[in-house]
Structures are given as C-alpha cells and as structure tokens.
Amino acid sequence: MPISAPEPLLAVRALTAGYGKIGVLNGVSLDIAAGEVVALLGPNGAGKTTLLRALSGLLSWRGEFRFDGRDMQGTGPREGARAGLVHVIEGHRIFTQISVTDNLLLAGYDLPRGERNARLEEALVSFPEIAAKRQERGGTLSGGQQQMLAVAQGLMRRPRLLMLDEPSAGLSPVLVDRVLDVVSRLRAAGTAVLLVEQLIEKALKVSDRVYALAQGQIVLAASAREPGLPARLERAYFGQE
C-alpha cells in the first residue's frame, strides 16, 4: 500500500480577498510544507501583501484555508499567532518610543514572564546588532536595525510559519544578507517561511520553491533551483508563461 503524502502545514484553495468592492485575489491556491521556505514573487500590485494580510487574519477572505490541519475561517490575528502563524508586516513596524527589550517583551505579552525572557534572549541571538542596543529606544535604530527588530518580534512567537513581507525594503546589501541569513537558519531549525521579496536572486537563493503572483492569481509554481527560472518568472508576470 502506498504511503500517503503528509498534509501541508499551510493549505490554501481558491482563496479570494480584496478591499470592500475592490477584488484583489482571485482563486489563489498554494501549499507550504513544514520547514519549507517558499518565495512569493510578483510585480507591484499583484496582491502579495493582500495574500499575507488574508492569511494572518487582517483581511476577510473566501475559499479554503487550513493551517496545521485547522480550518482558519473566522480566525483573527491573535488566534493565528498563537497557533504559530506569524506575519511580519512590511515597513519596520516597531514601537519607536520604547526600548528594544520592551518591543520584544510586548511581542510576547501573553507568555509567562520566565518564558518571555527566555524567548527574548533566543530572538536576539539572531541579531547581535540589536542585542548590543537592547536598552536603546527603537527610534534610535537605523532602518536596517528596525527591520531586524521587527523580525525578532516575530521570532518571539516561535512561529511554525513566519510570513515576511519585503524584509529587504530600504536595507543596504549587507543588511539584506543578514536578514535573509536568518531565513536560512529558521529553515534549518524546522520553521517554515513564506517570503515576499522583490530581490528575486536573493529570494531564490534561500528558498525551496517559488510561487509567482500576477493580477491576483498564481501564474507559476516551480522549484527555486529550476534552470532558467528568472526568465520563466518574467514571462509569467506578463502572461506569456
């Protein structure tokens, strides 16, 4: 008897979402396995951020969406995060008037004190640049350091799936590599990542598979190691795939 494939950690089928009467996503389907890094690529306005907002409970949606076997219909951001589905929003969303330490403690506000402190130290291991500034206000950090802090906030939840929306935005090449290096380490530790990124070459380097989104639909699904993939992506964006 053949052994059935394990159920994906994330399974999305025919998902539609938008803003009021403005439809953005039109029948999106995708899977992510446990411990897998998947890049979600596409031109501006394709619906990548909308998809992450729907998956994290920030936006209503229709269709089928299961996480770790659980039907996520009607689930809000808090319940999703507690289940291990964590969304790091684009744009260095941190509290600028409080310290790095307090930013991280707030991210784990519902955890017992000892557990919060342990996770804080665990999150800071990935980012020595901000660990050295743990008592400084978030607003004094550089843009790159603020992005590192935003990712560290996500790590406070010990996610099973971490969704990163444009983590390279506004960063120097060196800091981009530092942030994406954390993605590789998360995969090694068994954490799945859904990565929205404009730097295609760097995204493919840390990913196992890739989905391309254009005009609210998945137009390509492939291995990140497929020969000639950048050219296929370009054709897919323009409806030529």
Does residue 219 fall inside a structural domain?
Answer: yes
Asked if the model's pLDDT at residue 4 lies above 70, the reply is no
DSSP lists the bridge partners of residue 38 as 194, 209
Does residue 90 fall inside a structural domain?
Answer: no
User: Taking residues 195-219, what's their average pLDDT?
Assistant: 94
Number of neighbouring beta carbons within 10 Å of residue 214: 20
In this structure, the strands spanning 61-67 and 10-19 are: antiparallel
* pLDDT > 70 in the chain, percent: 96
Q: Provide the residue range defining the domain that includes 45.
A: 1-84+159-241
Record the tokens describing residue 195, joined without a space: 């990565």
CA distance 112 to 105: 11
Number of neighbouring beta carbons within 10 Å of residue 14: 13
Record the tokens describing residue 192, joined without a space: 């799945």
* 69-108 confidence digits (pLDDT tens): 999 998 889 899 989 999 998 866 799 999 999 999 999 8
* Structure confidence at residue 115 (pLDDT): 92
Does residue 230 fall inside a structural domain?
Answer: yes
Asked if the model's pLDDT at residue 2 lies above 60, the reply is no
The verdict on 106 and 169 lying in the same domain is no
Using 50, 70 and 90 to split pLDDT, how confident is the model at 211? very high
The verdict on 154 and 128 lying in the same domain is yes
* Structure confidence at residue 5 (pLDDT): 65
| Burial class, 67, CB count within 10 angstroms (exposed 0-12 / middle 13-18 / buried 19+) | buried
Q: How many domains does the chain have?
A: 2
DSSP lists the bridge partners of residue 70 as 67
Using 50, 70 and 90 to split pLDDT, how confident is the model at 29? very high
Q: What is the pTM of this model?
A: 0.91
* Structure confidence at residue 238 (pLDDT): 75
Q: How far is CA 24 from the centre of its chain?
A: 19
The verdict on 78 and 4 lying in the same domain is yes
CA distance 238 to 241: 8
Phi, psi of 152 (to 5 degrees): -60, -35
The verdict on 64 and 168 lying in the same domain is yes
* pLDDT > 90 in the chain, percent: 64
Using 50, 70 and 90 to split pLDDT, how confident is the model at 1? very low
Does residue 91 fall inside a structural domain?
Answer: no
Using 50, 70 and 90 to split pLDDT, how confident is the model at 25? very high
The verdict on 64 and 180 lying in the same domain is yes
* Structure confidence at residue 66 (pLDDT): 96
Using 50, 70 and 90 to split pLDDT, how confident is the model at 234? confident
Average pLDDT score over the chain: 90
Q: Nearest to residue 163, comparing CAs of 134, 191, 124?
A: 191
Final residue before a domain boundary, out of 123, 140, 158 = 158
Record the tokens describing residue 85, joined without a space: 């589905």
* 108-138 confidence digits (pLDDT tens): 888 898 999 999 999 998 888 899 999 999 9
The verdict on 127 and 175 lying in the same domain is no
- Strand arrangement, sheet containing 217-223: 85-88, 161-165, 192-196, 37-41, 209-214, 217-223
